[in-house]
Structure 1
């Protein structure tokens, strides 16, 4: 099976689509996939589907949705309903669990690359870390589960995923700047700062990339544009840190050739990321 949640929800097997079209079964499947290898309690599923206004028939409805999901999975995989219930979509501890061994699953691959990239980055292997992060980010096809109506459970999981994506992008750009790839990422940075005008660290990365690529005037303009926008919108100046980069560009400070924007975490500072079992 080919399973995609980092963008519109897609599940296919042998050119057959698995994703239900009805709103609630679609939500149910999405929440289970976001929590792969973890049991999702029945109460959480009911809250997701009815958001605190569950009818008396909610439990039976969830059980019916799961039955039809298993039936569809059995059809497309050629497995029996018992096999699907034991090895793909299990009943466990008053809830349900999607197991991790699910063919090509983009979220699972993303988590594996995230863990690997963080580990080698902390060890000082910047090139491999940047490669892992770039590959992980390439899995995204838009906002996670963009075509699924979201209740409280999906909203929380997607918010966490989007933050992981943003942090990984921050780290990847920082790594590529440290690797001397400033020219290669200039176009991407130009797009990113236009989409998120007030992201000061991203603007600092853009300023440094411009300066190192020989565009000193454009680097100064990038600072002045942010300053103008911040004063107009909020009546505040950019941070002292950003002013420091501006002054360094203004004086052509040689330190800009090695000056970092973001600190890279050490091994002791690494966050606990979801465990990933099996191969891909």
Structure 2
């Protein structure tokens, strides 16, 4: 079996899609997969599915959903529902645990690749790090759980996954800068800036990539746009580190040691 959460919730057996089509069943399964190998209590599931206001029949309905998910997994995998209940989707006190091995779902594989890439970056093996991060990011298929209605818990789980995706994207840009692949870094950073208009680090990455490719005016304009947006919308200026990068780039004879350390070593 393969369970995927880096995008729409998706369950496959030998390439065949066995994801529940019923919305509430899919929502229950999504939370169980998001919390794989951890107990999810019945109250947590009830609150997730019924927005904190479960009807009197909710517990019985939840048991029906769990039974249907077990049956679907059993049928797809050629085993019995009892086998699934004993070893895959098990009852644990007043809750349920979906047991998954690391190679049965995408999140551990993604996290392992990102961890490997960070180690490579620390050793300045940027080319290999970029390749590993590319493999990790290729696993993403869209917004996490986008085919499921989000309650409070799935909203939190989606936020965690989105933050992990953003961090991996930033790390890949760092790898591209270290490899002096500035045009690719510009493209990747532009996409992130559009999605995260107040995120200073991705703006700084775009500034460094533009400056290193000989486009100082464009790099300075990125800063000015960020400053105006933060001042007008949030009432705060950019951080000292971002401001320092801007000041260095303003100089006709900038501190090349600083720029190199910042990942903006110029080709000029």
Partner of 1:75: 75
C-alpha distance 189-106 of structure 1, shift in aligned 2 (>3 A): same
Task: Give the TM-score of the pair, scaled to structure 1.
Answer: 0.82
Partner of 1:152: 152
5 Å matches for 1:85-164? 85-101=85-101, 104-121=104-121, 125-164=125-164
1:59-87 CA distances to partner (integer Å, 9 max, x unpaired)? 22222111111111111111122222223
1:149-201 CA distances to partner (integer Å, 9 max, x unpaired)? 11122122222222222223233323432343333211111222233222221
Larger RCO (alpha carbons 8 Å, 6+ apart)? 1
RMSD: 2.4
Partners in 2 of 1:20 and 1:68 — Cα distance?
9
Partners in 2 of 1:57 and 1:142 — Cα distance?
34
Partner of 2:266: none
**TM-superposed deviation, 1:128:** 4.5
Partners in 2 of 1:48 and 1:233 — Cα distance?
33
Task: Give the TM-score of the pair, scaled to structure 2.
Answer: 0.85
Partner of 1:65: 65
Partner of 1:237: 237
* Greater mean deviation of Cα atoms: 185-194 or 174-183: 174-183
**TM-superposed deviation, 1:15:** 4.7
C-alpha distance 114-25 of structure 1, shift in aligned 2 (>3 A): same
Q: Is the 8 A contact 1:88 1:102 kept in 2?
A: no
Q: Is the 8 A contact 1:178 1:260 kept in 2?
A: no
Q: Is the 8 A contact 2:133 2:168 kept in 1?
A: yes
C-alpha distance 125-38 of structure 1, shift in aligned 2 (>3 A): farther
* Greater mean deviation of Cα atoms: 129-138 or 240-249: 129-138
Figure out how many residues of one structure are paired with residues of the other and give that number: 261
Matched, 1:184 2:184: yes
Partner of 2:38: 38
Question: Unpaired segments of 5 or more residues in structure 1?
Answer: 262-280
Partners in 1 of 2:64 and 2:127 — Cα distance?
49
